[in-house]
Amino acid sequence: METKVKAHWLGHSTFKIVSPNGSVIYIDPFLSQNPSTPDEFKEVDKADFILLTHGHDDHVGDTIDIAKKTGAKVVGMLELISLLWKDGLPEDQGIQFNKGGTVNFEDFSVTMVSANHSSSYNGQYAGDPAGLILSFEDDICIYHMGDTNIFGDLELYGELYEPHVVFAPIGDHFTMGPEEASYAVQMIDPEIPVPIHYGTWPPIDTDPVEFKDYLEGVSDTDVIIPEIGANIFD
């Protein structure tokens, strides 16, 4: 796939994405306490945006520390951002939105869609969980599904947003497992599916090859099993 976007998987559900204009975007920056993230990626010196799918610790992760250090804007569900403000996120760095809404930046936009999961932050309700669709101007569209089960609207998202790339959770236990995730990806029909949210702890110690085999056995899709830290488009 030809693209000027760079997307580096950093373990679990965390991505560092660099836009064509050089904006550094972190999605669900669970880094310092993530056993699957190598030490060289745990420190963040530059971030322009942090995008959050929901409020669980393994997704919010180091958001506030990174935001304070870098000045990054934090974009997420209305209730979650309110809780982060109370927990020390600078007021001018939080951007609230909700499902169906789109936030536009210089060379990309973020649209929030549904996910079938739960969401809390420090034991408090953090709004609904979400998936995030990133559309890069004159370039690709990426759908980060967040934590989710399979559900019928996924087919509609595929038709409406036509994502080229889908980051799909496959770990089971807290999200879909490999077989369910393969059905979910078929509903969306991207060019490139990428398995995420696996291998971090024993309950989600799933083999991504199972997902790859399920999906490639029933479709022409080429699954990319990411290498931590590498650009998935290289």
pLDDT (tens digit, 9 = 90+) per residue, 13-34?
999 999 999 999 999 999 999 9
Q: What mean pLDDT is predicted for residues 5-15?
A: 98
DSSP 3-state assignment of 69? helix
| Cα–Cα nearest to 131, from 54, 24, 19 | 54
Look at domain 6-216 and name its CATH class. Answer: alpha beta
Q: What is the dihedral of CA 78, 173, 8, 136, to 10 degrees?
A: -40
Full DSSP string of 11-62: STT-EEEE-TT--EEEES---TT-TTS-GGGT--S--SEEE-S--SHHHHTT
DSSP 3-state assignment of 202? helix
How many CB atoms neighbour CB 69 within 10 A? 14
Question: What b/e sequence results for 119-146 when a residue is b if at least 16 CB atoms lie within 10 Å of its CB, and e otherwise?
Answer: bbbeeeebbbbbbbbbbbeebbbbbbbb
Contacts of 150 (CB under 8 A, 6+ apart): 116, 176, 180, 181, 183, 184, 187
Residues 76, 73: Cα–Cα separation, whole Å: 10
pLDDT given at position 84: 98
DSSP 3-state assignment of 103? strand
pLDDT given at position 2: 93
Is the pLDDT at 220 greater than 90? The verdict is: no
Is the pLDDT at 173 greater than 90? The verdict is: yes
| Cα–Cα nearest to 150, from 126, 133, 166, 127 | 166
Mean pLDDT of all residues belonging to the chain? 97
pLDDT given at position 217: 86
| Cα–Cα nearest to 149, from 182, 173, 120, 116 | 116
Is 223 within 8 Å of 211 (Cβ atoms)? yes
pLDDT given at position 218: 85
Q: What is the dihedral of CA 125, 126, 131, 132, to 10 degrees?
A: 170
Residues 98, 113: Cα–Cα separation, whole Å: 8
Length of the chain: 234
Is 224 within 8 Å of 185 (Cβ atoms)? no
Q: What mean pLDDT is predicted for residues 110-117?
A: 98
pLDDT given at position 197: 98
| Cα–Cα nearest to 143, from 131, 128, 159 | 131
pLDDT given at position 219: 85
Is the pLDDT at 143 greater than 90? The verdict is: yes
